[in-house]
A and B are shown apart, each in its own frame.
Chain A
Amino acid sequence: ETGVTQSPTHLIKTRGQQVTLRCSSQSGHNTVSWYQQALGQGPQFIFQYYREEENGRGNFPPRFSGLQFPNYSSELNVNALELDDSALYLCASAGQGRLDTQYFGPGTRLTVL
């Protein structure tokens, strides 16, 4: 059973640019959530996808958007990058009906200059 994988590992962008982060969920998991973790803070919920539909969103502006594909992999897109977007972006997957046990990937570290 493969775990949650994310790509790329690290990314450096400049203010105003756009970025796409990718996540492959654990085998058999159909729910994917994205979190933002700033340095020294706990992860903050961005949004969740279930069967290719967004079914919940945290307090993040619309320039944070996502997709989930038929194979349950997912993308996080961030437009008009700001300095405060610098963080570790985490993807977590869960099996159907098992949202109490979410498994996290290693994260993508995004630096915005």
Chain B
Amino acid sequence: QKEVEQDPGPLSVPEGAIVSLNCTYSNSAFQYFMWYRQYSRKGPELLMYTYSSGNKEDGRFTAQVDKSSKYISLFIRDSQPSDSATYLCAMKGPRTGFQKLVFGTGTRLLVSP
């Protein structure tokens, strides 16, 4: 079993839809949770960063973390064709010593005009 599971998609939605992207994880030591957006043949771009459980909102994006269920989500409101990309969830353990990011496989999102 992978440490982080993410549906690869593709997820196709019409412009203006609300998009829900999700990841589950198995390692209860994870405390920091991130969402990256990656356009084709580019490096990942940090979108959202959350510590522990709760919600965080930034413009059209909302990140949710439920540590009790080991489940994280990214919601995109009023989706735009420019949101078409692969969305990667990533997570890591406590802020002490050596740290690495553990990524999901990424979900490909297609927003049609």
Q: Which residues of A contact B (CB under 8 A)?
A: 4, 6, 33, 35, 40-45, 48, 55-56, 58, 88, 90, 92, 97, 99-107, 109
Contact = CB atoms under 8 A, between A and B. Distances in A.
Contact of A56 (B44, B45, B46, B99): B99
Interface of B: 4, 6, 8, 32, 34, 36, 41-46, 49, 51, 88, 90, 92, 95, 98-106
A97 B68 CA distance: 27
A105 B41 CA distance: 11
Contacts of B101: 33, 35, 43, 45, 92, 102
Contact of B98 (A40, A41, A55, A101): A55
B105 A106 contact: no
Given A100-B32, A101-B49, A58 B100 contact: yes
Contacts of A101: 34, 46, 49
